[in-house]
Amino acid sequence: MSDKPDDDTPKKKKGKKKILVMGLGVLVLLGGGVGAGVYAGSSGLIGHHGAAKEEDNGPKLVPKAEQKRPKAGGEGGEGGHGGGESSASGGKHVPSGGGGDRYASNYYTMDPSFTSNLKDSVHIAQVGLAISTPFDDTVIENLKTNDIAVRSAVLMTLGDTPEEQIFTSEGKQQLQVRLAKAINAVLEQKEGFGGVSNVYFTSFVVQ
């Protein structure tokens, strides 16, 4: 009888061992890759996990429905229409139209008012300011925290304003825009976020 079958048997066994070893190697690599991916994802090394955390801790936009509104007329305000709930609207607020801002306006008055010389002028401006933001109280708290830096920026902006600008409505509107930019620049530098949408004049006197 021939010895060929006996010679082929060890070769087949070796071939099976090589395939088995290679298969185990692939499984080890796959397992290591999955484990590394899970670790990186949970630690915030990949994806937007870390950014989401920072966003959660930052200022949040306030929907219009959650806007803070003062109660008019105290406790008797609801009866001002002579019947309260028996009115045609059923006592509920009926929007006048589809316009208006999408988000609430959160207001903050900056006290005390500001007094500054005007650019190349002998006149002095005394200005009361209030800001509005569509974000929650985080922006207002940032304003309070950085009050000194914000007030300094406002005074420098007023001092860089020529007197002919403040005697017209258009000039005052331009000053509002400049003041909002100056305040946001301070907040962005100090807190990494501005959030002031508008600046309003609560008083404006030129002497």
Q: What is the DSSP letter of 86?
A: G
Which is nearest to 128 in space by CA: 183, 182, 203? 203
Contact 114, 158 (CB under 8 A): yes
Q: Smallest Cα–Cα separation from 155: which of 112, 192, 193?
A: 112
Structure tokens, 50: 């870390």
Confidence band for 33, pLDDT divided at 50, 70 and 90:
low
Q: Contact at 8 Å (CB) between 202 and 130?
A: yes
Tens digit of pLDDT for each residue in 59-108? 899 888 777 776 655 444 344 444 433 333 334 444 444 456 788 899 99
Residue 121 sits at φ, ψ, to 5 deg, of -145, 155
Tens of pLDDT, residue by residue over 18-27, are: 555 555 455 4
User: The sheet that has 106-117: what strands, in order across it?
Assistant: 106-117, 124-133, 198-206
- DSSP secondary-structure letter at 97? -
Alpha helices in 44-68 (DSSP H): 49-57
Question: Backbone dihedral region of 100: left (phi > 0), alpha (psi from -120 to 50 degrees) or beta?
Answer: left
Please tell me the predicted confidence (pLDDT) of residue 68. Answer: 74
- Look at 186 and 98; give whichever has higher pLDDT: 186
The answer to whether 163 and 131 have CB atoms below 8 angstroms apart is no
- Among 62-66, 149-153, 167-171, name the most confident range: 149-153
* Three-state SS at 146: coil
Supply the pTM of this predicted model: 0.60
Do the beta carbons of residue 166 and residue 206 sit within 8 Å? yes
